[in-house]
Amino acid sequence: MTGASDKLTNREKLIYQTTTGIVCAVMVFSIINFIFNDHFPFPNGPQGAFVHLGLPHYFKIELTTAKILGLLALLIPSVPFKIKEFAYFGFGITLLSASIAHFARGDARLSVLFIIDPLFFLVLLIVSYVYFEKSHSFSTRQSPER
């Protein structure tokens, strides 16, 4: 998926690929919702989700663009290591910020999942990153030209 080294065990590869795949799927889902269904998950509200959270419209465009670039960085194997690290970091900030924004807005009264969901995916992102790091540490030990 993102160039995981052959030195990872089959179990580690599976964990890495599964967690990365789930996080990427969540990001694709949110991109699609940002573009086509701004009212999700607030279908009865007259305003979009970004307005509900007190965020300006231009931020939706910035966040959508950043998520698309982050997905490309994680999924294209030839993308440099540092760029992939920025994508992980950006997704981490995004997930943590989503949880904080929903908490600050009081959305936990509607459902505690608004706060827990992003944190759950943040944990999966961290697991993915740990195995990404581990695979990279194997490859740097193999090639001293770096």
Could you report the per-residue pLDDT of 74-106, keeping only the tens digit for each?
Answer: 999 999 999 999 999 999 999 999 999 999 998
**Which are the contacts of 59, defined by CB distance < 8 A and separation ≥ 6?**
50
This prediction's pTM: 0.84
pLDDT at 45: 61
Sites in the chain below the pLDDT cut of 70 = 1-6, 38-47, 138-146
